[in-house]
Structure 1
């Protein structure tokens, strides 16, 4: 794999200049499923905090968070191209997000099997999280719910 050093990558916290087709490709290659460009753009523009990793003029990673800016925040969609996974970029992006959220409680949804990454950042597995999903069977297949 071509691991670019995380410090050669610029983090930006706005949606300007993002190629949403390319962002959808990142989700597919991560692999975190298929997204539609207009819908993905809207979810990021409506988020309290966004983080984009740029390398060589292109987006290579992205994340977003919702927040009440007082007590609770939730991080969603941390993902990057596979060739950047394992380079320290995910840790750098998460720390940058946590520094900017400034709420005492931050939750997130992890891809099954990636919990250890978040535990190394201080996150604890919750026993009481619940989900009401439009497609619970799909969520079961993916390992998110019982």
Structure 2
């Protein structure tokens, strides 16, 4: 079945999007929180197969300096087929013209993004709502 790409939140089923993140698995996300996040994102990609949402990604961008790619997710049935690479490539293409394109990754997926041209930053830092949990899951360290 051919894949259908969309770049609009018009008609998006927010519950289906939340279920995709849960299945990916990228954690439990609230549909209303996802609506806020995607509405405020300059770039977004939605990939459908047989009218079912199978892949997604978004980028927060200011139009000049920085575009931040995040929340790239695929249903497990569509992982390992190159679709994630295509979503990231589209978000990078949409982000062209920004001075920097930053990507936030799940720990353990860094090598995937390195193959797409991303380099590890030595100065990136974060404050998480659950700092101890973030450290436990490998997102931050004490050093």
TM-score bracket for the superposition, by shorter chain length: over 0.9
Secondary structure at 1:59's aligned position in 2? strand
- Unmatched segments (≥5 aa) in structure 1: none
Provide Cα deviations, 1:77-115, integer angstroms capped at 9, x if missing partner: 000101100111011111111111122310011111101
Gaps of 5+ in 2: none
Q: How does 1:1-146 map to 2 (within 5 A)?
A: 8-102=2-96, 103-146=98-141
Shift of 1:134: 1.6
TM-score normalised by structure 2 residue count: 0.93
Higher relative contact order (CA 8 A, sep 6+): 1
Task: Report runs of 4+ in structure 1 exceeding 6 Å deviation.
Answer: none
Give yes or no for contact 1:18–1:59 (8 Å, CA) kept in 2: no
Query: After superposition, what is the alpha-carbon deviation per residue over 1:107-131, rounded to whole angstroms, capped at 9, x for unaligned?
Result: 0111111011100110001111100
Measured in 2, the distance between the counterparts of 1:30 and 1:132 equals: 24
- Residues 53 and 60, structure 1, Cα contact 8 Å, conserved in 2: yes
CA distance in 1, matches of 2:49, 2:12: 12
How many pairs were matched up? 140
